[in-house]
Amino acid sequence: MKKQAVAAGFILFSFILPTKASAVSFDQLYVFGDSLSDTGNIYNATGKTYPPSPPYFEGRFSNGPLWVDYLGDQLGLKPTLFTTIPSPAIANQGINFAFGGASSGSGNAVVPNPNLPGVLQQVLGFAGTLQTNNQTANPDALYTLWGGANDFFFLNPEDSTTPISNISLALNTLVGVGAKNILVFNLSDLGQLPAAKINDRNPTTLSKSTSEFNLGLAQTVSALSQNPNLNIISIDSYSLFNQASALGFTNVTESCLSRLDICDPANNKFLIWDGFHPTTAAHKVIADTALAAIEAKSVPEPAINLGILALGTFGALGVLKRQQKRSALMTVGRVVDAQLSHTTVEN
């Protein structure tokens, strides 16, 4: 099981939360993705109408800050929105290229606007600008990549090949232009999200496609990780969401917006905000998990296999008793779902 987990390349860490990224020093943050990472690009592009704020928070697809906001605060970096850049030269702390609704390739899967870039398109545009100016990517920056879900929800729920190819190409493109530190996320089980159960969607198909996508992406990550000059940091969103109950979330099946009778928008007990997107409390856990993974990769311990690292209690929400946290998170740190390992996906 350990060998399978390491081979899959996506690890969920249990840890004692640091207050800041003391072990790492990035001077810029570049973000590529969709609504899970968009802090206002599509909001600006649609005349501040989508997503409607309120109830959404300041153009974000949640009820508060996203993981990008939290991680940026922890790293001391605030990337400039792509839609607010008169010149890339002023984006001295990096750029957030992510657009809500972005497909894994070109275009937007939700908003019919040809000027809204998909995830691969965001990366290719960034790479093209560098190449035009005979530049390479800043090796001291952190680059983040998270996408693919919109293809399954809005384009073709059965086609995992296209998003695997697009996200893998985006990852390889970043490496090709000189990016050294790349944070890459797999997908949570899309079939388990509240949105999977409405509009004639098939949760079983979405879960199967998620597993196929994650396995394909893990193979790309595993191959790139053989390069000792690269720092590929993988975040296992799949396992993180599957273990949300152990992390203090008491409602992981309904969206907060659908149950405002019991969900105060400031309530941190709900995992999902609107059917598709995490609540800000869940985004905080994602950010803290990412920071722990970054620090673990940045300060290798020769006596410890970082692929199965367990550093103590999670502590992200402060809502579980210490003993309960320890028991639950020992399980989280010990188990990476078989769907992320080299097991065969059922046809």
Show the domain range for 75: 23-286
* Residue type present at position 314: F
* Domain of residue 58, CATH code: 3.40.50.1110
In a domain, 331, yes or no: no
d(CA 17, CA 15): 6
- Cα atoms in the Cβ-side hemisphere of radius 13 Å centred on 124: 13
pLDDT at 240 over 70: yes
In a domain, 311, yes or no: no
What would the two tokens of residue 327 be? 């028991």
**Range in 66-75, 207-216, 243-252 with the lowest mean pLDDT:** 243-252
Pairing of strands 141-146, 95-96: unpaired
Phi, psi of 286 (to 5 degrees): -60, -45
Q: CB–CB of 145/126 below 8 Å?
A: no
The pLDDT-based confidence of 42 (bands split at 50, 70, 90) is very high
DSSP line for 215-234:
HHHHHHHHHHTT-TT-EEEE
pLDDT at 303 over 50: no
In the chain, the number of structural domains is 1
pLDDT for the residue 89: 58
pLDDT for the residue 267: 66
What would the two tokens of residue 23 be? 């072990």
pLDDT for the residue 33: 98
In a domain, 158, yes or no: yes
Q: CB–CB of 258/307 below 8 Å?
A: no
| Residue-averaged pLDDT of the chain | 81
- Radius of gyration from C-alpha coordinates of the chain: 19
pLDDT for the residue 122: 97
Residue 254's CB: how many other CB atoms inside 10 A?
15
The predicted-structure confidence for 313-327, as pLDDT tens digits, reads as follows 223 333 333 333 333
Q: CB–CB of 255/194 below 8 Å?
A: yes
In a domain, 174, yes or no: yes
CB contact set of 10 (below 8 Å; sequence gap of 6+): 186, 214, 218, 221, 234, 235, 236, 238, 239, 336, 340
In a domain, 300, yes or no: no
pLDDT at 85 over 70: yes
Question: Greater confidence, 306 or 71?
Answer: 71
The pLDDT-based confidence of 298 (bands split at 50, 70, 90) is low
pLDDT for the residue 88: 60
In a domain, 245, yes or no: yes
In a domain, 272, yes or no: yes
Q: Bridge partners of 141? A: 28
In a domain, 197, yes or no: yes
d(CA 67, CA 292): 13
